[in-house]
Amino acid sequence: MKKILTIGLVVLAVASCNKSEKKSDVISGNYNFGGSTTVEPIMNAAAEELKEKFKDINISYDSTGSTTGFTGVASGIYSLGGMSRELAVSEESSGLKVTPIALDGVAVIVNKASVGIDDLTMSDVGKIYAGEIKNWKELGGVDAEIVVYNRDEASGTRDCFGITVKYVGKKFRNDCPIVTSNGDMVSKVATTPNSIGYCGFGYIEKDQRVKAVKIGGVEPLEENVVNGKYSISRNLNIVYKEIKEGSFEKIFLDFLLSDIGQTIAREEGFIPLKK
């Protein structure tokens, strides 16, 4: 796969540079991207591939959350930002552009060793996160308090997952331990008995000590996101200001949307836009 990616990368880079009448070897410098922790694996994998062609560039990606991705681009700190949500109403007047690069579902995960439940309804999940259900026995499980992990308010994953509490007409309870990334969420649920959390599909397999539960009998699978049966899902987006043809940002975005970039998205556990 590495060889295929590299060959395809050369073709893509040459095509992009020829279109702009600009040679790839004149592109150099430091490029600062940042934002969503969900988008991070795709961005880092794409950056590694591109650095094989463009030897004189340095690419950084700050994994700080979707809201920081937006504000970072708006303020000029980042030239490309990752967002695992759409623009909020308050952000729409910014003039920033958004391009989807993949699809993702958000899975509800539990500690595999201690939680025997494999299926929850949207109402169940919403009530857990609103603080109305606090013990697994209320759902047919063991008599144990539910340890609920949530994400910080800058998180696009939290924004997407908010559909669960909205489903029961409530808001998130405010006494949950907060984690700041998908990886941290998986780690906390994996090591905490009787716990529940949520993460992007691409993180489900990161630790075998967690399991993703069905929602209303629907498994958290790619096909169920695509066919609309699994409702906790979202676009993974890149946000940016105007980018010029021939710029490295344009090359990077085109690469993410290419067949090779979409293959990277799939290899990182996400759902490609292109079949």
Reported as a single tens digit per residue, the pLDDT across 162-221 is: 999 999 999 999 999 999 999 999 999 999 999 999 999 989 999 999 999 999 999 999
Question: Given this model, what pLDDT does residue 246 score?
Answer: 92
Question: Given this model, what pLDDT does residue 194 score?
Answer: 98
Does residue 35 carry a pLDDT above 80? yes
DSSP state of 166: H
Does residue 22 carry a pLDDT above 90? no
Question: Given this model, what pLDDT does residue 23 score?
Answer: 46
Does residue 14 carry a pLDDT above 70? no
As a whole number, the mean pLDDT across the chain is 90
Q: pTM of the full predicted structure?
A: 0.79
**Alpha carbons 261 and 256: distance in angstroms, whole number:** 4
Does residue 7 carry a pLDDT above 60? no
Reported as a single tens digit per residue, the pLDDT across 110-154 is: 999 999 999 999 999 999 999 999 999 999 999 999 999 999 998
Return the closest-CA partner of residue 82 out of 240, 249, 199, 258.
Answer: 240
CA 31 to chain centre: 21
Position 275 confidence tier, pLDDT thresholds 50, 70, 90 = low
Does residue 11 carry a pLDDT above 50? no
Write out the two tokens for 223: 């096909």
The domains found in the chain, sorted by start residue, are 2-103+234-267 (3.40.190.10), 105-226 (3.40.190.10)
- Which residue reads 């759409």 in tokens? 86
Does residue 6 carry a pLDDT above 80? no
Burial class (CB in 10 A: 0-12, 13-18, 19+), 223: exposed
Position 77 confidence tier, pLDDT thresholds 50, 70, 90 = very high
Pick from 133-137, 227-231, 242-246 the range whose average pLDDT is largest.
Answer: 133-137
**Alpha carbons 223 and 2: distance in angstroms, whole number:** 26
Reported as a single tens digit per residue, the pLDDT across 249-258 is: 999 999 999 9
Give the SS3 label for residue 94: helix
Give the pairing type, strands 210-212 and 233-240: unpaired
**Alpha carbons 139 and 135: distance in angstroms, whole number:** 8
Minimum mean pLDDT range among 21-30, 40-49, 189-198, 202-211: 21-30
81 close to 70: Cβ distance less than 8 angstroms:
yes
Phi, psi angle pair for 198, to nearest 5°: -155, 155
Question: Given this model, what pLDDT does residue 27 score?
Answer: 85
Question: Given this model, what pLDDT does residue 274 score?
Answer: 67
Question: Given this model, what pLDDT does residue 4 score?
Answer: 42
* Mean pLDDT value across residues 96-111: 96
| Residues counted in the chain | 275
